[in-house]
Every structure is written in structure tokens, then in C-alpha cells.
Amino acid sequence: MTRNILISACLALGLLAFGAPARADEYTDTAQLFRDAGESSAFFGNSYGYAIYPTIGKAGLGIGGAHGKGQVYVGGKAVGKTKMTQLSIGWQAGAQGYSLIIFFEDKRAFEEFTSGNFEFGAQASAVAITAGASAGAGTGGSSAGASGGKKDATTAGDYNKGVAPFVIIKGGLMYEAALGGAKFSYKPLK
């Protein structure tokens, strides 16, 4: 019975993540959440650009996957579309939806991301911006604190190899939330 409920939840989340494309204002709304969330707001002013994914769906039961669509920005203007795909094998169970932003420290990091071959290494993780609970694990050993609401969440993060990823959990419960093995594609806007 519990396994059937878990499988149903995974399928529902998968349909949500793989289905409808993000609305234009969804990118603006998601960026505003990250602007309002502690230290991640400072990255908007000191980064070359960023990729933002309003919703990434992740689900797994032994074998798992994640997928989401996003946009890439330089100087506050959209310059391309991006997709994130991840496949994982190992002990994992559950389903989760989250928003992701990846800041690029400089032009080199941006060009590496947009080359079409960008991938996070096996141990990569993002700083989790959560409200009402503490969160650990972050790129470069960073950690995240928490507070009363999404708009006053506190975080700590820094660039590691030219990128700084941050995550806001939207819902669900998933054991295993690393970005390791995530692959990103990029297509410039015409």
C-alpha cells in the first residue's frame, strides 16, 4: 500500500515537472524569491549571470531522476533556454519539487555552462534555502540557516569552480538531494 502511494506521488510529480513549460512571470517570481532569501540576494549584484529553474521535479525509488526547464540571464536579460536532467541509481525514495538558481561568477563560468557539456561532479550539492528548519550541505562546505518564512531565510554560500547553486524546496520529501551527475543543456535565444 505505502509503495503504491509513493509510486503514485512520484508519477504525479514527474508529470508536473515534465509537463507544462514555465510561464514568463514564473521566472521573475522565482528570481524574486532568491533575491529575498538572505545571502543569495547578493549574488545578483556580483555575478556575471545566472540560470534559473522555477520547478525541477525529482522522484525515485531505487532508480531516480530529475528534470526541469529554465532560462539563462546575463546582465538581467534572458539570453537562452536551458534544461536540467539527472539520473541516479542507489538508495533513494520519495518525490520532491524545488527551484534552482545557478550563479556564474565570470564569463569563463558562463561559457563553460553554455558550451553544452556542463555537468556537476559526483559530490556537488546546492545551498538549501529553507524556512522554518535548518539545512546543511552546500557547495564548498557552506551551510544554510533558517528563519520564519521564505522571504527572511538566511543562507551562506560562495562560488566553487565559478558557480554558486542555491535551491528552494517547494514540497515533497526525498532522501538524496545532491546535484551530482546533473547534466545541463543550453540553447541561445534567437
Cα angle 50, 45, 145 (rounded to 5 degrees) comes to 80
All cell numbers assigned to 44: 545578483
| Least confident stretch, 19-33, 50-64, 77-91 | 19-33
Residue 5 — pLDDT band, cuts 50, 70, 90? Answer: very low
- Of all residues in the chain, the percent with pLDDT exceeding 90 is 39
Selected residue with higher pLDDT from 171 and 26:
26
Mean pLDDT over residues 82-92, rounded?
Answer: 84
Residue 152 — pLDDT band, cuts 50, 70, 90? Answer: very low
Residue burial 69-87, b: 16+ Cβ < 10 Å; e: rest: bbbbbbeeeeebbbebebe
Cα–Cα dist 60/9, whole Å = 10
What's the Cα-to-Cα distance from 53 to each of 3, 56, 62, 84, rounded to whole Å?
A: 29, 7, 25, 8
What's the Cα-to-Cα distance from 22 to each of 17, 74, 78, 183, rounded to whole Å?
A: 10, 19, 14, 19
- pLDDT given at position 73: 97
Q: Is the pLDDT score of 86 beyond 60? A: yes
- pLDDT given at position 54: 96
pTM of the model: 0.74
